[in-house]
Amino acid sequence: MENNHHTEEQNDGHIAEAHHPSYGINILVWIGLLSLTAITVAVAGINLGSLALTVALVIALVKSMFVINFFMHLKFDNKVFKIFLGICMITFIVVMILTFFDLTFRI
């Protein structure tokens, strides 16, 4: 593989050896996700007023962190992927905030 001269992200391009996850941890994560689903549905029954949105979104965020870190393996992956995801999320959040500078302050 002459032409696989990777100057960074040190590995030879084959990541099979990178990490050996087991069945167990993934099943645990799954149970966690199901519990969080149960919680969010249960909480939705209570009248939290304006807090409801925040709570639901926080739970959804936690759930997606689980999926991203374990199922999608990001926790064990190379740093670039974390940076990439960070760039993507920051872009999205900033765009959202700037849009709301308009919506919130309209008369």
Partner 1 sequence: MANGTIAAVPQTAEVNFYNVRTKHKGILSWLLTIDHKRIGIMYLFAVVFFFLVAMTIGVFMRLEMLTPGETFMKPQTYNSLFTLHGVIMIFLFIIPAVPAVFGNFFLPIQLGAQDVQFPKLNLLSWYLYVIGAVLALTSLFSGGGIMDTGWTFYVPYSIRTTTNVSLSVFAAFVLGFATILTGLNFITTIHRLRCPGMTWFRMPLFAWALYATSWIQVLATPVIGITLILIILERAFGIGIFDPALGGDPLLYQHMFWIYSHPAVYIMILPAMGVVSEIIPTFSKKTIFGYVPIAISSLAIALVGYLVWGHHMFSSGISDTSRVIFSLLTFFVALPSGIKIFNWVATLYKGSIEVTAPMLYVLLFIFIFSIGGLTGLVLGALNTDLHLTDTYFVVAHFHYVMFGGMGIIFFAALHYWFPKMFGKMYNEKVAKTAAVWIGIGFNMLYFPMFIMGYLGMPRRYYDYLPEFQKYHVFATVGSWVLVSGIIIMYINLAIALKRGKKAPDNPWGGTTLEWKTSSPPIMENFKEIPTVTTGPYDHSITESQEVKK
Partner 2 sequence: MSYNSDSSVQEIQEVHIHRDDFGSKMGMWLFLFTEILLFGGLFILYAGYRFIYSEGFAAAATELDVLLGTINTVILLTSSLTVVLAIVALQKENKKLSLFFLWVTVICGLIFLVNKYFEWGAKFHHGVYPKGPALQNMSEGEVMYFGLYFVMTGLHGLHIVVGLIFIGYVMRQIQKDVITSSNFQKLENSGLYWHLVDIIWIFLFPLFYLIH
Site for partner 2 in 46-105 (CB under 8 A): 52-53, 56-57, 59-60, 63-64, 67-68, 70-73, 78, 80-81, 84-85, 88, 91-92, 95-96, 99-100, 103-104
The set of long-range contacts for 16-24, using a CB threshold of 8 Å and a minimum separation of 24, is 18/76, 18/77, 19/73, 19/76, 21/73, 21/76
Closest CA to 40 of 28, 20, 19, 58: 58
Q: Shortest distance, CB of residue 99 to partner 1, whole angstroms?
A: 5
Q: Shortest distance, CB of residue 16 to partner 1, whole angstroms?
A: 17
Closest CA to 62 of 43, 85, 82, 36: 36
How far apart CA 17 and CA 63 sit, in angstroms, is 28
Return residues touching partner 2 (CB under 8 A). Answer: 1, 3-4, 6, 9, 11, 13-16, 20-23, 26-27, 29-30, 33-34, 37, 40-41, 44, 52-53, 56-57, 59-60, 63-64, 67-68, 70-73, 78, 80-81, 84-85, 88, 91-92, 95-96, 99-100, 103-104
